Amino acid sequence: MPWLLALHMTALVCWCGALLYLPALTAVTLRSGAGDGEVPASFSRAAYTLLVTPAALLAIASGTALFLVSQTVAGWLVVKLTLVAGLVLCHVVNGWMILHFEKAPRSYQTLICVLLGAASAALMVPIIWLVLAKLF
């Protein structure tokens, strides 16, 4: 079980870090276009499909396996899973935002990226608090 916990924590750190980084990457790449020395807009989509989504799937699958193996059923777990569902929603909105703004860039896309990054961070803090409160 320790290897499963290590896998879950590693995937979760990658997913959460990417959820914080991806809105900023999207805002910068879609605003600037693909000029000299700039990152092409397709880089956001590649990061989303090749890094962020596999990390999310691995984090969710290993977390599910972890709670099935340990047979944990508690009130804090329901709250945590509800917050994780919010992170999944932020993940989906990131993908929608990349596709939507690639087709038609908008003047308010930077604001949406900032709000999405803030929403992701606001969900991560109570998740971490719940898990640490459970441990101690």
- Better-predicted residue by pLDDT, 131 or 58: 58
The model's pLDDT over 15-69, given as tens digits with 9 standing for 90+, comes to 999 999 999 888 887 665 555 455 666 788 899 999 999 999 999 999 899 888 9
Six-digit token string for 95:
């993908």
Q: How many domains does the chain have?
A: 1
Confidence of residue 109 (pLDDT cuts 50, 70, 90): confident
Quick one: pLDDT at residue 21?
Answer: 93
pTM over 0.75: yes
Domain encompassing residue 78: 2-135
Cα separation, 51 vs 125, in Å, equals 22
What was the pLDDT predicted at 1?
A: 81
DSSP string, 75-130: HHHHHHHHHHHHHHHHHHHHHHHHHHHHHS--TTHHHHHHHHHHHHHHHHHHHHHH
End-to-end CA distance of the chain: 19
